[in-house]
Amino acid sequence: MAHFNKYLWLHIFIFSFGFAVSGQAQEFRLRAHHIFWKNQEAGTDREIDFGRGVAAKILGKYPLLRDERKHKYISQIGTGITAQLGRPELRYYFGILETDEINAFAVPGGYIFVTMGALKLMRNEAQLAGVLAHELAHVGQKHIVRKLKLQSTDSSLTSGIAQVLGSSTLASKIALERLNDLAFKMLMEEGLSKEDEEDADQKALEMLITLGYDPHSYLNYLQSLKPHLAQGGAEVLSKTHPTIEFRYRSLKEFISRHQLDNIQGKKNEKRFKKIMAKS
């Protein structure tokens, strides 16, 4: 018992000492993985905010098509692909831009647009799925965000996009506006790197095969772009993407390397045409 009393007093002493000194908040308890995933979540939120601004700029240039049926259709196809290719932390939005310009856009944060001009050129659902998968791959791989980080020379930008986006100061708001401009310029004029486009094409092809679509339809769509690019019907696309020859050749090599030549799949041509015919 004497033994116990000795320890009991030790208890009381330590506790009294503990109460007597004031402590700090318990943030230090957070372990590396807590902080890492917390930052990841915060980074995603900032990416969505950033993407919203860029999407607004695109919608300022091209109006959104007011066709519920078509919109619902591409959303369904796109959502099906995101189940495989999408980032689970993002909620994706799909829209059709009312322009005859042939193009599609992937905006950080999960905003995907395809133009009416591109839809008119497509012959089946497999081609639509291929284009959407290509754009989703850009979002999934954060191609735009990464390129923006590399391009930034302003000290406020090189310190990290996340920091700029996470702040509410006037300076950071200006910086954010500049980032939105840079991203918009990238989508409309500069484009992504050849490697990123090649990567997105290959991921699109893989996705078509995974979902049971005909992968060759995507190549056919690329081929069908050729005359339009020559005639100037896809000005932005020609500025922002590698040549069709390069993309076609690259995909052909990919197919050959992975022995995918004989893979066939669904095209859903009838359904696609039925929905696209109605307005």
- In the complex, the smallest distance separating the C-beta of residue 34 from other proteins, rounded to whole angstroms, is 5
Half-sphere exposure in the Cβ direction for 161 (13 Å, CA): 27
Contact 216, 210 (CB under 8 A): no
Q: Is 9 in the site for other proteins (CB under 8 A)?
A: no
Q: Is 34 in the site for other proteins (CB under 8 A)?
A: yes
Residues 13, 37, 76, 270: which binds other proteins (CB under 8 A)?
A: 37
Contact segment (CB under 8 A) with other proteins among 9-17, 118-126, 148-156, 180-188 equals 9-17
Residues 9, 35, 42, 212: which binds other proteins (CB under 8 A)?
A: 35
- In the complex, the smallest distance separating the C-beta of residue 176 from other proteins, rounded to whole angstroms, is 26
- In the complex, the smallest distance separating the C-beta of residue 12 from other proteins, rounded to whole angstroms, is 10
Q: How many residues bind other proteins (CB under 8 A)?
A: 28
Q: Say how far apart CA 217 and CA 207 lie, in whole Å.
A: 13
Q: Is 19 in the site for other proteins (CB under 8 A)?
A: yes
Tokens of 16: 């009294």
Q: Is 13 in the site for other proteins (CB under 8 A)?
A: no
Helices (H), 161-214: 161-166, 170-185, 194-210
Residues 9, 13, 30, 69: which binds other proteins (CB under 8 A)?
A: 30
The residue type of 278 is K
Distances (CA, A) of 247 to 95, 149, 196: 25, 25, 11
Strand, helix or coil for residue 220: helix
- For other proteins, the closer CB: 28 or 259: 28
Q: Is 16 in the site for other proteins (CB under 8 A)?
A: no
Strand partners, 53: none
- For other proteins, the closer CB: 30 or 174: 30
Q: Is 279 in the site for other proteins (CB under 8 A)?
A: no
User: Among residues 210, 209, 204, which one has the least CA distance to residue 222?
Assistant: 204
Residues 13, 15, 64, 230: which binds other proteins (CB under 8 A)?
A: 15
The residue type of 10 is L
Q: Is 42 in the site for other proteins (CB under 8 A)?
A: no
- For other proteins, the closer CB: 38 or 274: 38
**Sheet with 111-115: strands ordered across:** 93-97, 111-115, 104-107
User: Among residues 122, 132, 133, which one has the least CA distance to residue 272?
Assistant: 122
User: To which H or E segment does residue 105 belong?
Assistant: strand 104-107
One-character DSSP codes across 19-42: HHS----GGGG--HHHHHHHHHHH
Q: Is 11 in the site for other proteins (CB under 8 A)?
A: yes
Strand, helix or coil for residue 205: helix
- In the complex, the smallest distance separating the C-beta of residue 3 from other proteins, rounded to whole angstroms, is 5
- For other proteins, the closer CB: 22 or 169: 22
Contact segment (CB under 8 A) with other proteins among 21-29, 95-103, 202-210, 218-226 equals 21-29
| Interface with other proteins (CB under 8 A) | 3-4, 7, 10-11, 14-15, 17-19, 21-26, 28-37, 40-41
